[in-house]
A and B are shown apart, each in its own frame.
Chain A
C-alpha cells in the first residue's frame, strides 16, 4: 500500500494495463499456443509440433503470397503518401480561411460515413467489362474493345486500397503541417529557397511524424487485409491475409494461427524499421 501511495503512477496505469493484458496479450498468447497444435478435418488436437511452421516457411505459396502482399503494401503506400501529402499541403498552406479549411477537411471524411465494404463493392459496376468506365470510353471511341484489367486485377486492388486509406495519410500529415511555424516558410523563401526546396527541406522534415503515423496506418492495414484483395481481384490473387482466412474457414486454426504469428512478426519488423528513421516520441 505504501508502495502504491509512493508511486501513484502504477495505480494510474493499472486500468490500461489490464485492458491491454485482456484484449491484446491474452489473445496473442492464445494464437501463439494454438499455432503449435495439430489438427484434422474437424478437430484441434492439443500438441506441440512444428509442422505448421515447417509447412508455412517452406511452401512456395507463402513466398508468393508475401511477395504479393509487399507489392500491394509498397505500391499503396507510395500512392497514398503522394496523394495524402498533396491534399494535406493544399489544405494547410493554400486555404487561408480556417472555416473553409475545416469544411474541406470534413469533406475528405465524407466517404467514411459508409462501410468500407460498400465503398469497395461500388467500384465493381464501374470497372467491369460492361461497366461505366469501359462503356464511356467505347462510346467516345477511345478504345475498341473493353479494357479487361480494370477489374479483377492488381490494379483494382490497389485502386481500392488507395481509395480506402488515403485519408489515413491526410489526417496526420495535415495535423503536423498545421503546427509548422509559418515564419519558417517565410524565412526559407527569404533565404532564397525555391518552392520545391522549401517543401523538401523545410516542410517534409517537419511533417516526419505525420508521415510516419500515416505510413504505419496504411502499411499495417494493407498487410493484414483480406477482403479487399479477394473482392477486387475476383479471388485471383492471394495476400497473406487471404491465406489465413482460407485456413480459418476450413477449420485449420493451427495453420492459420501459425500464419498469423509469422505475419505479426513481419509487420513488427517493418514497424521497427520505420521507427529507426523517425523517432515518433521525440517528434510528437
Chain B
C-alpha cells in the first residue's frame, strides 16, 4: 500500500520547556495531502506573544497527514487579511488554501486571533474566525485555530486541543529507577509531571470527561488502582485486592470502571460501580483475561484472553456474560482499543514474529497492519479516530509514535524523560 516514502524533517521552534524537535515522517497515503499556506500572523504593535501561532498551526495540520503546508521561504507575500491576498501569487505556488490572520489584545491579559481561510481556486473566503484566550496560553489559541481549519476542510472534528498521558522510566544511580506519570499536549508540548514514584506506574487512562485519570501504581509494592483528579491533583486508591489489580478502564458514561483482578484465582475482568464500590465479575475462566476496553455503547467489553491457547480478542456482554471471539487472523492479537464509532478496533498484532499495531474493521472482519516498526505496543486512538499513538523502540529507547488510521502518516514524539511508554490519548476536552 505504501509505495513511495517521503521523509520530511521539520524542526519546530518551541519553548524550552517542551520537546526540542518533532520528527515527522510522512508516508504517502491514498490521497495527496492538500497544499495549504499558513501565512505568519500579523501583530498589533506593542503585543508580545511567546509563540509563533502560524507555525504551530502549520505543524498541527502537517502532523494530520492530510495537509502539505507551504514553506515560509516560498511565500511571495505576507498578507494579514483577505484584502491583501493576491490569489494569482498563491495559485502560481500550487496552493489550494491560504490562512491569514492577526493577533491583538482586545482585553488586558488575553490575546485574540482574527483569521480567515481562503479558497484559492474559487477566490473566496470560506471561513472567518475569532478566538480569544488568556495571554499565557498561546499554544492553545493556535490549536483552536487548527481545529477550526481542519474541521472546515475535512468535515472531521479536530483533535489538536487534546492531551496525552504516558509513563517514563529513568534509571538513577544504585540500580534504582524513577517512574513518572506525565501529561502533555498532543504535540508533546507543555509536559508536566502528575505523579512520580520509585515503583512502577502502569496503564494510565482517562475518564470520558477528561477531568480524571486512573492508573496502576506499585507504590505500596503491590499493584493497586488509583484515581487522580486533574483539577485538584487529589489521589484516591480505588482497589488493593490480593493479587493483580490492573488495566483500569472507565465506562463511556464514567460511572463504572472495568479492571483486571486475580483475587478469585486467575486474572478475570471485573466491573466496579464507582459510586457504590459494588464489584461485578464479568468473566470467569481459568485462562488469563485482561486488558478490558469498553464498546462505545457501554454494554459490552472487549478484552484479551488466551482461553483458546493463544492471546486473542474476545467480547463479553456485561449483563449476560456471554463471550464471543472477535479476532481470528494471526496467532497473537492483544490490547484492543475501540474506535469512537465502535466500527473498528486497534490492537497489537503479531505478524511473522514482529509486533505491530493493526486496525480491524469489525464489519468486514478485515485486519490492516499500520506500523512498520517492531515491538509496537499500547495503541491509543484519537477521539476523532484520525490517528493513534503507540509505544515502540527507537535507538534502544522506549519512544512514543503516532500513525494515521490509514497508515499514511507517521511521526515520533521524543520526550525529555528516558524510556517512555503506555500513551493514552485524551477524549475531547471541555
**Chain A bound to chain B:** no
Interface residues of A (CB under 8 A from B): none
